[in-house]
Structure 1
Amino acid sequence: MRAILLAAGVVLGAAGHGVAQDTQTATGTGAVLRVLDKINGEVQDITLVNGTAGAVWRMQVELGECRYPAGNPAGDGIAFVTLRQQGQADSLFRGWMFASAPALNALDHPRYDVWVIRCTTS
């Protein structure tokens, strides 16, 4: 996994959530994530501010932080996300998701898919 992150131009640091730290990235104010219900084919976008959570259907989505290439806010977003089934304490997923490579580090759930669309900057 470290090699993949290095290939993406990100170096893992020790701060925060194992937060991606590098002078080549900037921190956004939040992120737009997309949730797919694979049973009924519905898609819903959720916009979260860093450090907040929201609910889509039965999925609790928590955003730790979203980072993007410095100088290119529309570039590849990288978000630290925690996903839980509503009413459950244990997380289904906790880690970094890449907008340009949603399958790289994906939620493995029979009903829902969640992926990063982009970081927000204001």
Structure 2
Amino acid sequence: MRGRMPLPAALLGLALLSVVPSASAQQDPGWVPQRTASLQALDKVTARVTLLEAPLNRITAFGTLRITLRACNARPPEEVPDAAAWLQVTDVRNKAEGEPVFSGWMFANAPGIAMLEHPVYDLRVLACH
């Protein structure tokens, strides 16, 4: 074992703790799949805020944006309210088939983690139901 040092017992214990789920993680019911997302859309030019209901796998239009909800999950009622939505957003301003401007998860309680970066529009997930 030239050049390799054994892990100290404390580090080995920490490594094992990171692999074995805790009791609270085993009891966590996780996310509940839903079929509709409530979204808040903002037109930055006019300052118009619009509430949208986006059904699963159907296109919802806002201005030149075409929003498709691919998944929407909510926390169970006994948990702190939160929602996570997988969205695909295209902009049809310059191309009839649309140009992709966002694809990924958006979180209601952490909108800054993943957000739409668009010069005219802003989009936020409010809830899944």
TM-score of the superposition, structure 2-length normalised?
Answer: 0.70
Q: Which structure shows the higher strand fraction?
A: 1
Residue of structure 2 equivalent to 1:119? 128
Moved over 4 A (4+): none
Q: Is the 8 A contact 1:74 1:119 kept in 2?
A: no
In 1, Cα distance between the equivalents of 2:49 and 2:126?
13
Unaligned runs of 5+ in 1: 1-21
Q: Which structure shows the higher helix fraction?
A: 2
Q: Is the 8 A contact 1:73 1:119 kept in 2?
A: no
Q: Which of 109, 112, 115 is the equivalent residue of 1:103? A: 112
Distance 1:73 1:28, change over 3 A: farther
Distance 1:25 1:42, change over 3 A: same
Q: Count matched residues.
A: 99
Residue of structure 2 equivalent to 1:69? 75
Q: Is the 8 A contact 1:74 1:118 kept in 2?
A: no
In 1, Cα distance between the equivalents of 2:78 and 2:99?
35
Report the identity percentage. Answer: 27
1:42-100 deviations in whole A, cap 9, x for unaligned? 01111011111110111111101110112358811100001111234331000000001
Residue of structure 2 equivalent to 1:39? 45
Greater Rg over alpha carbons, structure: 2
Amino acid at match of 2:70: G
TM-score of the superposition, structure 1-length normalised?
Answer: 0.74
Distance 1:97 1:72, change over 3 A: farther
Q: Which of 29, 33, 58 is the equivalent residue of 1:27? A: 33
